[in-house]
Amino acid sequence: MKNFYIAAGAQAFSHLGAITVIKEVLAQINQCLNNPFSIFTRNLDFFGEILDVNDPILEVLLLCPQDKEVENMIKASLSSIAETINRQYKRYLCMNVSELMSTQTESARLHNMDSEEVIGMFSAAKKKAPNATMCYMSSRIRSLKNRTVAYLDSLSASDMTERVTWAIGVSRSRRQANRVRMSEVAKEIALRAEQKNQETERKKKN
């Protein structure tokens, strides 16, 4: 998994390119399932990387007897891995990847560590300030993740004022637009509820 859980700049392949890697790994696992004892003579792992002969786990594995019990253990382990891959990547393994989709997802990360970090930050913020609004915590987390304060500190006083003023104006416009949209949604909900009540009353009369 060291090929996946790495920094964004160190990625050897794109987000959708990783699906090709997963398919190749799955093919290797299925091939090994047909001949479980081939794992004792492999020079490469399922990702195509050279196996370290000094790896302590590999050394212990190679000492195992090639009998029925070990064969069943290898099959069970590989089958579980293949089942997990098929379950977790089911949607990806069946999709047809277009050139546009590859371009749009090129910068996407190969893992969900960022999401887990944000969830942790949210939990910590909620514990620290239980009465804080969702909007406040969301803004705070975004500023930390985007390094907004560090960016503003790197600007001159005039540039900082200009950008902060612009951000306040944009936020105000968005809030107003949200209020209008929410008001329209509330009116539509009320209208549909009224129509439903009228329909119910009409059915009762009939």
Average pLDDT, integer, range 135-145: 84
Higher-confidence position of 5 and 81:
81
Q: What is the pLDDT of residues 26-64, one digit of tens each?
A: 999 999 999 989 888 888 888 888 888 888 888 888 888
Q: Which of 38, 37, 54, 48 is nearest to 13 (CA)?
A: 48
Distance CA 35, CA 66 (A): 12
Q: What is the pLDDT of residues 167-198, one digit of tens each?
A: 899 989 988 998 999 999 999 999 999 999 98
Distance CA 72, CA 61 (A): 14
Categorize the per-residue pLDDT at 159 as very low, low, confident or very high, splitting at 50, 70 and 90.
Answer: very high
Look at the block and give the residue holding tokens 């492999």: 42
pLDDT for 72 equals 92
Q: Where are the domains of the chain?
A: 8-104, 113-205
Classify residue 74 as exposed, middle or buried by CB count within 10 Å of its CB (0-12, 13-18, 19+): buried
Q: What sign does the dihedral 17-21-27-29 (CA atoms) show?
A: negative
Task: Round to the nearest angstrom and report the end-to-end CA distance of the chain.
Answer: 67
What DSSP character marks residue 94?
H
Per-residue 3-state assignment (H helix, E strand, C coil) for 6-33? CCHHHCCCCCCHHHHHHHHHHHHHHHHH
Contacts for 11 with CB less than 8 Å, ≥ 6 apart? 109, 110
φ, ψ of residue 88 to 5 degrees: the values are -75, -30
Mean pLDDT of the chain: 83
